[in-house]
């Protein structure tokens, strides 16, 4: 369905989100907005190896399955990847999740977070595009906090898949009103690593432990059960995917189980995902959840998310109000090199 700017969602879109836990909306972002996000991703990628938060999961996957190869993440230290390698190696059920690809080109699965804190263009799209209004409508939320942005880039001939997972247990929140907006910055199809969602899994009533994308192995600090073995039983699940182009967005519920293929093609598959939380969400320092890069200053379990870490992006005080210019790097106080607040 075409969401169109300011035209609202159709009943069909809302029903798809309610029933399937995922909806694809066409032509939501403008080419100017896509260019802003591409520029933000290029900046993040330029810092790979020098940033605290940027990782290459393709390289990490190779380091995990090779018993002697050391784990090398440059200056990125948000995650203890050496410990993760040991956890995966100790998991008897662990196995590589790689796409068949005869090419000997080197792939790259780039992951980074928190571009909004340093990049006014990303902030503009996250706060002032059509997305907050759409997210609020899908969640029937009175207000929305922006939780974070995450970048997922798969270069040509990236064999690493994204293991199926559910997002809730990665986040330090509890509540139901949270959506993830997956934003393709290149066309995504079966060859380039399309997103795959288990239809209706947001209603399974189960929270699953996080994994590190390169293996189904759960984070041991998480009290939640392991996500079912979807990769090993694809035919048993109702998997929905969408071929998308820049401007389209796919929105899933925080409980919807999803994964993605590798990129077997000669083309890039760049994407960002924005996470929005509605009014039933509370801060919860969930065991096993990812510590946010610099975030959550001063919040305690049970608090609403109101803080400089999680700006209120909906509702707008008046139509056409732009929130993003209100924020600049100095006001946010974000130290890029240290990936923390000054």
Ligand X SMILES: O=C(O)CCC(=O)C(=O)O
Q: In angstroms, what is the minimal distance from the CB of 330 to ligand X?
A: 30
By C-beta, is 239 or 329 nearer to ligand X? Answer: 239
DSSP character for 171? Answer: S
Q: How far apart are CA 4 and CA 247, in angstroms?
A: 10
By C-beta, is 56 or 167 nearer to ligand X? Answer: 167
* Dihedral of the alpha carbons of 110, 251, 316, 120, in degrees to the nearest 10: 10
Other beta carbons within 10 angstroms of residue 102's beta carbon come to 6
266, with CB counted inside 10 A (0-12, 13-18, 19+), is: exposed
By C-beta, is 51 or 273 nearer to ligand X? Answer: 273
Instruction: Decide: is 180 part of the binding site for ligand X (CB under 6 A).
Output: yes
CA distances from 155 to 177, 192, 271 (A): 33, 9, 11
228 contacts 1 by C-beta, under 8 angstroms: no
Q: In angstroms, what is the minimal distance from the CB of 26 to ligand X?
A: 18
Closest-CA residue to 330 (of 68, 118, 14, 70): 118
Q: In angstroms, what is the minimal distance from the CB of 139 to ligand X?
A: 16
Q: How far apart are CA 285 and CA 110, in angstroms?
A: 26
- Hey, which residues between 235 and 274 contact ligand X (CB under 6 A)? 258, 260, 271, 273
Contact code string over 269-298 relative to ligand X, x by CB under 6 A: --x-x-------------------------
Contact code string over 136-175 relative to ligand X, x by CB under 6 A: ----------------x---------x----x--------
Instruction: Decide: is 112 part of the binding site for ligand X (CB under 6 A).
Output: no
Instruction: Decide: is 56 part of the binding site for ligand X (CB under 6 A).
Output: no
By C-beta, is 132 or 262 nearer to ligand X? Answer: 262
Instruction: Decide: is 73 part of the binding site for ligand X (CB under 6 A).
Output: no
Q: Omega before 315 cis (within 30°)? A: yes
Tokens 């939501």 found at? 28
Q: How far apart are CA 221 and CA 242, in angstroms?
A: 34
By C-beta, is 117 or 258 nearer to ligand X? Answer: 258
Instruction: Decide: is 182 part of the binding site for ligand X (CB under 6 A).
Output: yes
By C-beta, is 42 or 326 nearer to ligand X? Answer: 42
Instruction: Decide: is 227 part of the binding site for ligand X (CB under 6 A).
Output: no
By C-beta, is 141 or 271 nearer to ligand X? Answer: 271
Which residues of the shown chain bind ligand X in the complex (CB under 6 A)?
Answer: 152, 162, 167, 180, 182, 258, 260, 271, 273
């Amino acid at each position: 369905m075409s969401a169109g700017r300011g035209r609202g969602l159709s009943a069909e879109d809302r029903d798809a989100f309610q029933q399937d836990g995922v909806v694809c909306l066409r032509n939501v972002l403008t080419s100017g907005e896509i260019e802003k996000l591409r520029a933000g991703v290029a900046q993040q990628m330029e810092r790979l190896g020098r940033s605290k938060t940027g990782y290459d999961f393709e390289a990490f996957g190779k380091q995990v399955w090779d018993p002697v190869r050391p784990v090398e993440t440059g200056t990125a230290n948000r995650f203890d990847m050496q410990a993760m390698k040991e956890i995966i190696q100790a998991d008897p059920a662990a196995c590589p999740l790689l796409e068949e690809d005869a090419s000997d080109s080197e792939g790259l699965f780039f992951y980074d977070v928190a571009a909004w804190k340093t990049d006014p263009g990303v902030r503009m799209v996250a706060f002032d595009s059509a997305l907050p209004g759409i997210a609020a409508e899908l969640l029937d939320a009175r207000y929305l906090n922006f939780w974070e942005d995450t970048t997922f880039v798969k270069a040509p001939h990236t064999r690493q898949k994204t293991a199926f997972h559910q997002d809730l247990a990665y986040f330090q929140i509890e509540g139901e009103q949270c959506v993830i907006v997956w934003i393709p910055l290149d066309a995504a199809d079966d060859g380039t690593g399309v997103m795959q969602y288990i239809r209706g899994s947001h209603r399974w009533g189960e929270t699953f432990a996080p994994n590190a994308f390169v293996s189904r192995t759960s984070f041991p600090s998480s009290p939640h059960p392991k996500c079912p073995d979807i990769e090993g039983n694809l035919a048993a699940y109702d998997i929905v995917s969408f071929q998308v182009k820049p401007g389209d967005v796919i929105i899933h519920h925080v409980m919807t189980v999803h994964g993605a293929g590798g990129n077997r093609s000669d083309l890039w598959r760049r994407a960002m995902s924005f996470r929005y939380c509605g009014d039933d969400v509370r801060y919860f320092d969930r065991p096993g959840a990812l510590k946010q890069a610099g975030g959550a200053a001063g919040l305690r379990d049970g608090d609403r998310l109101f803080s400089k870490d999680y700006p209120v992006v909906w509702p707008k005080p008046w139509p056409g109000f732009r929130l993003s210019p209100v924020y600049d790097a100095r006001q946010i106080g974000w130290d890029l090199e240290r990936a923390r607040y000054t």
